[in-house]
Amino acid sequence: MPATLDELTHKVEQQLNVIYENIDLPMPITELSRLLIDEMNIPNNFVEPVPYTNHWSEKDMMLITYGDSIVEPEQKPLKTLESFMDTYLNDKINSVHILPFFPYSSDDGFSVIDYSSVNESLGDWQDIEDIAGKYKLMSDLVINHCSSRSAWFQNFIKGSGVGKDYFFTADPSDDLSQVVRPRTSPLLRETETAEGTKYVWCTFSHDQVDLDFRNPHVLLSFVSIIRQYLDSGVKVFRLDAVAFLWKIVGGPSINLPYTHEVIRLLRTLIEHTEPETVIITETNIPNTQNLTYFGNANEAHCIYNFSLPPLLVNSLITGDCTYLKRWLMSMPPAQNGTCYFNFIASHDGIGLRPAEGLLSDLELNTLVNTMQNFGGRVSWRTADTGEQKAYEINIALFDALKGTIGGEDKWGLERFICAHAIMFGLEGIPGIYIHSILGTPNDYEKLKNTHHNRSINRHRWDYKLLKEQLDSDYSSHSKVLTRMLALIDIRTKQPAFHPNATQYVLHLGLQLFGFWRQSLDRKQSIFCISNVSDEKVELRLNELNLIVTDDWVELISNKNIEDTATELELMPYQTVWLTNLKNE
């Protein structure tokens, strides 16, 4: 590992040689390497990162939210968000992912106009720094594309200034048939420029124009952006849509080796600047491809567990955990220095590509139809064959779990809590969407106003109304928050719930989904077992082989297990956490 600035420079040069091996650069690799290190402001006496170090523990719990998910008159939303977290979450949740808080033109923030500014309607950099001073802050690095209204793209149109050569173009006559995309809009955007008509590559929409990392100045610009975010207190970088970063005409243009090397390079630069900083890759792709973004513990520190939401929802609406269990058994344990980022709801929806090859077509169709019956919408993509396929289900998780394939029932709240109890117990860091912790249902009014399917799960709360709901003992929102925080409080005190603690899947039949966790020091064991059905189910404790000389307790109910050979009756959607070492 590099021990001096010269050795670090040499390592960066090697990585740059891989990225730009077939590209005629406007500068020597040695110069580019020095520029990158200077842009990151890496000091001569930098701290050498320790390989395979876990920058997380069982105490880590991430809230996922927009900067304006909660608003109050006469106050900037970032201040309102800070107030909400301080009042309701401060001693339970230690991290927050604020979705893009920059000026933008579309896609609720993911079409960035200016990476260096905070959206004035949300607040300013001081507001960001205030939150970062109290909570571990995750920020998006929207690295694949930017807004067509950005200064960079306007300079591309003019043919002069920074950005004039920042964008990837192709020709309509090129073979683009293999390109993998999550959208149905045309890939190329016809754009009139000072140099004539050009066709700009747009993976997502024509307002989101793709950047061209073959130009090293694009890389330099993003390293400068990273440096600014670090200075503002960002501790976790979410690399948005990074799988599409590198393009090659004539191929699928996803998950290319150059993309992986760019991530490795950014990690090298970041960890030699701020060793505790974490990189998370957002790659909404089939599971086997997603796993490659760990590299050899030298790419992403964390990857999103995108397969978890569709598989978990499928289990809870069918009462059968077969597919969920099969997937979990196939997941390799994350080696030290890496971990999974678990979530079951997000600002987007329930992605279906990560379930491909895991759920059958029949299961997928049943899942989609059930979600539509519960008020959900479906977003589509164009497959290689030209066929329209469901890409994601857009629905609030609270509504997604209000029934089964048989229809809505009385177990919605229990099913919803069960889903989170399962996620909280799994190997990895849990991320909880703000509208899940608040039990927010589908927002049909916002959907009607925006005509964007994803708006259904992007409600904006009035803080006064929200406080009234949360301060009431009778509202569903108060009940959800109370029970969620109770689970989180228990979870964050148990060493066996460390993101890298040992995990084994249990075989308890179709209706009981279970797994065993063991702390890194091997002192604490927790058996996490959930009834995923709408029927009572008997759990035979002797099947778990509990060590009879230990004193066992069920953490959620705080009840002692007097007889390890007895049976426990699990109510529909009840979860138990059985442990031999209770931590208060």
pLDDT of res. 386 = 74
Among residues 464, 497, 530, which one ends one of the domains? Answer: 497
Neighbours of 278 (CB within 10 A): 24
Please check whether residues 426 and 536 belong to one and the same domain.
no
Count of domains in the chain?
2
Q: What's the angle, vertex CA 486, arms to CA 481 and CA 492, rounded to 5?
A: 120
| Residue 557 burial by Cβ neighbours in a 10 Å radius (0-12, 13-18, 19+) | exposed
Measured distance CA(25)–CA(346) in Å, rounded: 40
535 assigned to some structural domain: yes
On whether 219 is known to bind a ligand per the annotation, the reply is: no
480 assigned to some structural domain: yes
Residues 6 or more apart from 13 whose CB is under 8 A from it? 29, 30, 33
Report yes or no: 301 and 279 within 8 Å, Cβ to Cβ. yes
Among 68, 212, 240, 320, the active-site one is 240
Measured distance CA(305)–CA(324) in Å, rounded: 12
What phi, psi does 217 have (nearest 5°)?
-70, -25
Q: What's the angle, vertex CA 309, arms to CA 459 and CA 577, rounded to 5?
A: 105
Please check whether residues 321 and 455 belong to one and the same domain.
yes
Please check whether residues 482 and 543 belong to one and the same domain.
no
On whether 238 is known to bind a ligand per the annotation, the reply is: yes
Domain that holds residue 284: 62-140+263-497
What secondary structure letter does DSSP report for 301?
Answer: S
Which strand (E) or helix (H) includes residue 361? helix 361-373
Please check whether residues 279 and 352 belong to one and the same domain.
yes
Among residues 472, 497, 522, which one ends one of the domains? Answer: 497
| Six token digits for residue 126 | 């001081």
Query: What CATH number corresponds to the domain at position 404?
Result: 3.20.20.80
On whether 114 is known to bind a ligand per the annotation, the reply is: no
Report yes or no: 229 and 141 within 8 Å, Cβ to Cβ. yes
Report yes or no: 10 and 1 within 8 Å, Cβ to Cβ. no
pLDDT of res. 183 = 84
Please check whether residues 379 and 521 belong to one and the same domain.
no
On whether 451 is known to bind a ligand per the annotation, the reply is: no
Neighbours of 178 (CB within 10 A): 13
Please check whether residues 292 and 381 belong to one and the same domain.
yes
List per-block mean pLDDT (blocks of 10 residues) for the chain, which spans 584 residues: 83 97 94 96 87 97 98 97 96 97 96 98 98 98 98 98 98 95 92 98 97 98 98 98 97 97 98 96 91 96 96 98 97 96 95 91 95 95 78 96 98 98 98 98 96 96 98 95 98 98 97 98 97 97 88 95 92 97 79
Among residues 433, 466, 497, which one ends one of the domains? Answer: 497
For 547, how many CA atoms within 13 A lie in the half-sphere containing its CB?
A: 10
pLDDT of res. 220 = 98
Please check whether residues 480 and 532 belong to one and the same domain.
no
Report yes or no: 567 and 533 within 8 Å, Cβ to Cβ. no
179 assigned to some structural domain: no
On whether 97 is known to bind a ligand per the annotation, the reply is: no
Please check whether residues 405 and 552 belong to one and the same domain.
no
Q: What's the angle, vertex CA 215, arms to CA 211 and CA 220, rounded to 5?
A: 85
Length of the chain: 584
Q: Is 521 a catalytic residue?
A: no
pLDDT of res. 2 = 64
3-class SS of residue 440 = coil
3-class SS of residue 207 = coil
Written as one string, the DSSP assignment of 181-202 is: -S--S-SEEEEEETTEEEEEE-
Please check whether residues 291 and 389 belong to one and the same domain.
yes
Measured distance CA(498)–CA(58) in Å, rounded: 4
186 assigned to some structural domain: no
Q: Rounded to two decimals, what is the model's pTM?
A: 0.96
Report yes or no: 554 and 577 within 8 Å, Cβ to Cβ. yes
203 assigned to some structural domain: no
